[in-house]
C-alpha cells in the first residue's frame, strides 16, 4: 500500500521536500520564539517599567507624562500582581531575556537578590551624593551592599550570595513601615472609642468593645493567607516592645535560654495569643489585599497593615479621613513603652542588566526622586515617598498618612523597631515557615503557647544548623 502523500505530486518530489521543510520550520517556530526578544525598549525614546503595586500605576503614569514633556522619553508602566506572581514573572522574563528597563522591587530584599543573580544592574557609580541626598536620611543606604549586608551574603546558601560590598542595585521609591493599626472611625465611635489606645491592654479592650458591639463585623482583619504577616506585622513589633531590642533579637539567636522556648519567648507568644477572640471570621484565608478590602467594606472594624495600606483602602472607596491610624502599642510595663517604628524603604527602583538604555532608565529614576515629582506621586498614590519633602510632608500626604508617619518619630537606636534588620538571624532563616507555626497558635487554635514556643525554637535551631 502506498502512503497517500506520495500521490500528491508523484512527478515532483522537490515539492514534497519543500512541504516537509515548511512543516519543519513552522514546527520549530515556537522553539525559536522561546529565545524571545528583549522586553527592554529597543529605541532610545521609550522605556518599559514593571511594578507589583497596582495602586502606584496611576501616579507613575502621571509622572511618566511629565517626564515625556521634559525629555521626550515615553515610559510604559505595567502592573503585575500579587507579589508572588510578580516575582515569578520577573524570573521567567529574566530567563527569556524579556525584562523591562526598570523594575519596582521590595527594598533591601528583591533588589539585592536580583543583583546577585545578575537581573539588577549595579548603579553605585551613577548614584552620586546629590541624587542620594534627595532621599530621607533613614533610607539613603537602601539598595546598597553595606558591610552588614555583605556579611549576610557570605554563606553559600544566602539568597544574596555573590554581591560585593559597595555595590548598589536600587534607589528607594516609597518609604514607611509595617505594624500600623487602622480602625474604622465610624465603627469605633459606635463602640464608644474616640481615641487611639496607648497600650496593648487598651487595644485589646477596644477590640473587645467593637466585637461586643458587632460580633460579626467588629473584629480585626489581617491577611494571614500570606504566611508571615502575623509574625512580621504583629508578633515582632510586639516582642520588640515587650522585651527590648537585645532580648527580642535573642529570640532568633542560638541560645536556647533566650530563644522562643524561653520564658521571654512564651511571654510574647501569650500576648499575641490574646488576640484570639477578636480575629475577623475567615481572616486566615485572606491575602493582604483581601483583608484590606474586607476592612474597607466594613466587614472588620480594625485592620493591621502598613503605611502603604491607605492607598489600597482609598482605591476600594474608603475615605482616608474615616481611618484612625496608630502604631501597634506596647504592653504595660514593657521594656520599650513607646516604641518608634523605623521608617524603612518599602519599594525601590532598579535598572535591569538587560536594559538597552540604562542611562534613560536612571534619568527616569532620578526624575521620580525630585521633591516636586515625589510630592505629586505621594498625593496620587496616597503613599509616603522616599524623597525628603521637608516641611510640606503633612500637607502633601494628608492627615491620616501624616498620623502614620508620627510612629517614626522620637525613637533612638534602642527604642526603634527596624523591620529590615536581619543581622541577628540565621542565613537560611525562612519567615514563612515560622509564620505557619505561629498560625497554629492563633487564629487556628491548634497548639498551645508552650508547644508553639517549642516548635518555633526547633525550627529556628534548624535554620542555624543548616546555615553554612
Partner 1 sequence: MTTAPRPALTEAAAAGRGKDPRPAGTGRLGRAPRPRRRGYESLSGYLFVAPAVVLFLVMGLYTVGYGFLLSFATWNGFSPSWTWVGLQNYKDLLWANPMYAPQVQKAAIHTFYVMVAVPLLTVLVSFPLAILLNSAKRFQGVLRSIYFVPYVTSGIAVFFAWTYILQPDGAVNSLLSTLGLGSLSQPQGWLGNPHTALPTMIVVTVWGAVPVSMLLYLTGLQTVDRNLLEAAQLDGAGWWRTNASVVWPLLRPITAIVVLLNLRDSLQGFQTFLVMTNGGPGDHTNVLGLEAYTLAFLKDLAPTLGLASALGWLLFAAALVIALINLRMLRSRT
Nearer Cβ to partner 1 (102/280): 280
> Which one among 6, 154, 212, 395 touches partner 1, defined by CB under 8 A?
6
Q: Which is nearer to partner 1, 23 or 65 (CB)?
A: 23
Q: Which stretch binds partner 1 (CB under 8 A): 326-334, 340-348, 354-362, 432-440?
A: 432-440
Segment 218 to 257, residues that bind partner 1, using CB under 8 A: 224-225, 227
User: Which region holds residue 80: left if phi is over 0, alpha if psi is between -120 and 50, else beta?
Assistant: beta
Sequence-ordered list of residues with C-beta below 8 angstroms from that of 388, at least 6 positions apart, any chain: 134, 135, 136, 137, 371
Site for partner 1 in 155-184 (CB under 8 A): 156-157, 159, 161-162
Q: What gap in Å lies between CA 329 and CA 341, rounded to an integer?
A: 11
Minimum distance of partner 1 from residue 230's CB (angstroms): 10
- How many residues does the structure list for the chain? 468
Asked if 284 interacts with partner 1 (CB under 8 A), we say yes
461 binds partner 1 (CB under 8 A): yes
User: Are the CB atoms for 55 and 310 separated by under 8 Å?
Assistant: no
Which strand ranges, in their side-by-side order, compose the sheet holding 344-351? 74-79, 46-51, 102-106, 344-351, 171-176, 384-385
Work out whether 20 is an interface residue with partner 1 (CB under 8 A): yes
105 touching partner 1, by CB under 8 A: no
CB of 69 to partner 1, least distance (A): 38
The three-state (H, E, C) secondary structure of 342-401, written as one string: CCEEEEEEEEECCCCCHHHHHHHHHHHCCHHHHHHHHHHHCCEECECCHHHHHHHHCHHH
161 C-beta neighbours (distance < 10 Å), count: 15
State in angstroms the smallest separation of the CB of 238 from partner 1. Answer: 20
Closer residue to partner 1, CB minimum distance, 171 or 228: 228
Contact status: 451 vs partner 1 (CB under 8 A): no
Helix axes 431-441, 449-466, angle to 10 degrees: 170
Q: Which residues pair with 327 in a beta bridge?
A: 180
- The residue ranges that bind partner 1 (CB under 8 A) are 6, 13-14, 16-17, 19-21, 23-24, 26-28, 31, 84, 87-88, 91, 94-95, 109-110, 113-114, 116-119, 156-157, 159, 161-162, 224-225, 227, 281-285, 299, 428, 430, 433, 436-437, 439-440, 443-444, 446, 458-459, 461-463, 465-466
Amino acid at each position: 500500500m502506498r502512503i497517500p502523500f506520495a500521490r500528491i505530486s508523484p512527478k515532483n518530489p522537490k515539492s514534497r521536500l519543500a512541504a516537509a521543510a515548511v512543516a519543519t520550520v513552522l514546527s520549530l517556530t515556537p522553539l525559536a520564539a522561546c529565545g524571545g526578544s528583549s522586553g527592554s525598549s529597543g529605541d532610545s525614546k521609550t522605556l518599559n517599567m514593571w511594578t507589583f503595586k497596582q495602586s502606584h500605576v496611576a501616579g507613575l503614569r502621571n509622572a511618566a507624562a511629565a517626564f515625556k514633556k521634559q525629555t521626550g522619553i515615553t515610559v510604559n508602566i505595567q502592573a503585575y500582581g500579587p507579589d508572588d506572581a510578580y516575582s515569578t514573572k520577573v524570573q521567567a522574563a529574566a530567563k527569556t531575556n524579556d525584562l523591562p528597563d526598570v523594575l519596582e522591587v521590595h527594598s533591601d530584599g528583591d533588589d539585592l537578590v536580583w543583583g546577585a543573580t545578575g537581573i539588577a544592574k549595579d548603579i553605585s557609580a551613577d548614584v552620586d551624593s546629590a541624587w542620594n541626598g534627595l532621599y530621607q536620611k533613614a533610607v539613603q543606604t537602601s539598595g546598597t551592599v553595606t558591610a552588614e549586608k555583605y556579611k549576610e551574603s557570605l554563606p553559600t546558601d544566602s539568597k544574596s550570595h555573590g554581591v560585593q560590598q559597595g555595590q548598589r542595585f536600587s534607589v528607594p521609591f516609597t518609604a514607611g513601615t509595617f505594624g500600623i493599626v487602622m480602625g474604622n472611625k465610624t465603627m469605633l465611635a459606635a463602640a464608644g472609642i474616640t481615641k487611639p489606645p496607648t497600650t496593648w491592654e487598651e487595644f485589646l479592650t477596644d477590640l473587645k468593645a467593637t466585637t461586643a458591639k458587632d460580633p460579626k463585623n467588629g473584629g480585626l482583619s489581617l491577611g494571614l493567607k500570606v504566611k508571615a504577616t502575623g509574625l512580621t506585622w504583629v508578633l515582632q513589633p510586639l516582642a520588640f516592645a515587650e522585651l527590648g531590642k537585645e532580648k527580642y533579637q535573642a529570640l532568633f539567636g542560638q541560645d536556647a535560654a533566650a530563644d522562643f522556648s524561653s520564658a521571654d519567648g512564651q511571654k510574647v507568644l501569650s500576648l499575641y495569643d490574646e488576640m484570639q477572640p477578636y480575629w475577623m471570621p475567615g481572616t486566615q484565608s485572606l491575602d493582604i489585599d483581601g483583608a484590606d478590602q474586607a476592612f474597607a467594606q466594613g466587614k472588620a472594624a480594625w485592620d493591621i497593615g502598613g503605611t502603604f495600606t491607605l492607598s489600597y483602602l482609598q482605591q476600594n472607596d474608603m475615605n482616608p479621613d474615616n481611618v484612625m491610624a496608630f502604631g501597634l502599642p506596647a504592653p504595660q510595663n514593657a521594656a520599650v513603652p513607646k516604641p518608634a517604628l523605623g521608617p524603612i524603604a518599602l519599594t525601590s527602583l532598579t535598572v535591569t542588566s538587560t536594559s538597552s538604555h540604562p542611562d534613560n532608565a536612571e534619568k527616569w529614576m532620578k526624575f521620580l526622586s525630585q521633591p516636586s515629582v515625589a510630592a505629586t506621586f505621594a498625593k496620587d498614590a496616597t503613599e509616603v515617598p522616599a524623597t525628603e519633602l521637608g516641611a510640606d510632608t503633612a500637607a502633601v500626604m494628608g492627615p491620616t498618612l501624616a498620623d502614620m508617619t508620627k510612629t517614626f518619630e522620637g525613637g533612638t537606636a534602642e527604642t526603634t523597631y527596624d523591620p529590615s534588620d536581619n543581622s541577628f538571624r540565621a542565613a537560611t532563616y525562612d519567615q514563612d515557615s515560622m509564620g505557619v507555626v505561629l498560625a497554629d497558635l492563633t487564629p487556628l487554635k491548634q497548639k498551645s503557647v508552650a508547644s508553639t514556643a517549642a516548635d518555633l525554637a526547633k525550627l529556628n535551631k534548624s535554620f542555624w544548623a543548616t546555615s553554612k
